[in-house]
Structure 1
């Protein structure tokens, strides 16, 4: 077994193990709130709190299954498209915010409203440490295990260089890069202290600024990677670089906004405008756009890599074999 494969397998087990305490904590929160022995999070009703945490329980369960699928033999037999979708969402949630964890540790941001966290106000320190360790462990594990899995299953998927398509017309829409850049600039503007589009500026804290800035930067990187593949510039750049950046950045756009979108709608319907700083209407538009652009960037990244390899009609991963042709997707 090659060293990269061994490291990927260890990382996959580590990712699944790291997220297990988070799953158990969330189950305890739901059970405790329903039994009346644990408080409901600030700004939430009991039904809203239960729905939110039940959703995160499901997400954690899927994350654990994905981690195991990247190492167990049955993971090689799963259909490629749903497995990669779950992995895309998981890496989009966790890998891009690893710098946030480091910066938060260095600058020591305090708690408070406005960070978009679902943590309750009375959360013990040991629970907070386990939750953070679970996110960091899962993010680091996926960052190592997923490339190793992809290399085993589709070894040629990210081969080639930018511009290998020979100047053929692109079949992917270039406007997605522009929209993604606009979204990124709004988030960076807010993170830098801008107040236009906010209804509760007092709800901002350092956590909110750091997370918004990092997600905005990832949106910019995704847009730049997408544009590189669409425009085929700079020619000669290894294709896996924009493909990987596009994968992570588009996953970040999609995953975080898909998670925040229903919560933003809940805040707008209940009039809880003092929970998050953003204006609910503005935030809803941004999150809808981010979800759509994230999906378009992912699809365009995959399709453009197929175009550059000359395999125009090859479908998305199906998991029906281990074809090692130019596209490497089936």
Structure 2
């Protein structure tokens, strides 16, 4: 059974890398086409801003393809574990938000006849439909494939990371629990906006269905991660399986860090430059505060998970057999 799961995981890793190739090709064509004057610049962007945005996404796609191959090729086991873990964490955070967003937006738009949810980085309504389909297929395919490939890689490299640490009931410091509080506050704020709340909203009429969907998805992941953190850092027995709680905290914290880290610079730019052709529904000061809190919370949860995975300090172990040590070293 383990060998079969490993084979499926390896196949999925190749699939994750292949699924991002269309996205990479489209983004490269946008950059080249814009430089040559063959393709229009996205609405709300200057040529320089458009090139920077799409160059960044090209780098992200290349990193995603490399990650997919690293999860299956032998050289992937030699890459520093922290680097692989960080890239996988950020990539998973992006994908677990975009997959529900794409699915729910498609259902909403099928009933309203709209065309939201294609690709937020496109910025231009003139994007051909086939490009939008390919971009969405890249996101969906990569997300599903990584969800299968990543656990198999973790089991090969760090099998202990998927097991509950020993010695439940270890005392928990406040430094491990603050991300649960800030994550819950941020998630509740996003949930309030998703269901139509207007406090902190500057332009009430500029909230499309996709905006509500993305706010709701972000809220769900933030609240899920915040709920899972206390059970993980305290290492107390729970009714839910430990790998399930670990997945909630891992994916939820990655979602907060990745998406808010992506939107924070753009929000700061709008707050400082006040471009005439770009406006956000939410008050930009409130949005900046929430995104900054989400980034810090995501990083805090990841740090708490790493500390919990290391288990208890070595001090209790060193005190288990004092008499034996005294006998050896009088």
TM-score by length of 2: 0.87
User: What is the distance in 2 between the residues matched to 1:180 and 1:47?
Assistant: 35
Bigger CA radius of gyration: 2
Query: For residue 19 of structure 1, what is the aligned residue in structure 2?
Result: 20
Query: For residue 100 of structure 1, what is the aligned residue in structure 2?
Result: 101
Size of the aligned set, in residue pairs, is: 308
Higher relative contact order (CA 8 A, sep 6+): 1
3-state SS of 2:162 partner: coil
Is the alpha carbon distance of 1:14 and 1:116 closer, same or farther for their aligned partners in structure 2, counting shifts above 3 Å?
Answer: closer
Is the alpha carbon distance of 1:186 and 1:75 closer, same or farther for their aligned partners in structure 2, counting shifts above 3 Å?
Answer: same
Q: Is the 8 A contact 2:119 2:135 kept in 1?
A: no
Matched, 1:117 2:120: yes
Query: For residue 317 of structure 1, what is the aligned residue in structure 2?
Result: none
Matched, 1:206 2:209: yes
Q: Which has more helix, going by share of residues?
A: 2
Choose from 166, 169, 172 the match for 1:167.
Answer: 169
Deviations, residues 69-114 of structure 1 (Å, cap 9, x unaligned): 001111011110011100000001002432222222322262469x
Q: Is the 8 A contact 1:19 1:135 kept in 2?
A: yes
Is the alpha carbon distance of 1:239 and 1:305 closer, same or farther for their aligned partners in structure 2, counting shifts above 3 Å?
Answer: farther
Within 5 Å, give how 1:236-251 maps onto structure 2.
237-251=240-254
Query: For residue 318 of structure 2, what is the aligned residue in structure 1?
Result: none
User: What is the distance in 2 between the residues matched to 1:51 and 1:262?
Assistant: 13
Deviations, residues 252-308 of structure 1 (Å, cap 9, x unaligned): 00000111111112222221374331222111111111111000001101211322x
Q: Is the 8 A contact 1:219 1:250 kept in 2?
A: yes
Query: For residue 255 of structure 1, what is the aligned residue in structure 2?
Result: 258
User: What is the distance in 2 between the residues matched to 1:106 and 1:7?
Assistant: 30
Cα offset for 1:233? 4.6
Is the alpha carbon distance of 1:219 and 1:133 closer, same or farther for their aligned partners in structure 2, counting shifts above 3 Å?
Answer: same
| Stretch moving more, 116-125 or 233-242 | 233-242
Query: For residue 38 of structure 1, what is the aligned residue in structure 2?
Result: 39
Structure 2, gaps ≥5 residues long = 316-330
| Stretch moving more, 273-282 or 260-269 | 273-282
Q: Is the 8 A contact 1:226 1:297 kept in 2?
A: yes
Cα offset for 1:230? 3.2
RMSD: 2.1
Structure 1, gaps ≥5 residues long = 314-330
User: What is the distance in 1 between the residues matched to 2:128 and 2:137?
Assistant: 14
Choose from 297, 300, 308 the match for 1:293.
Answer: 297
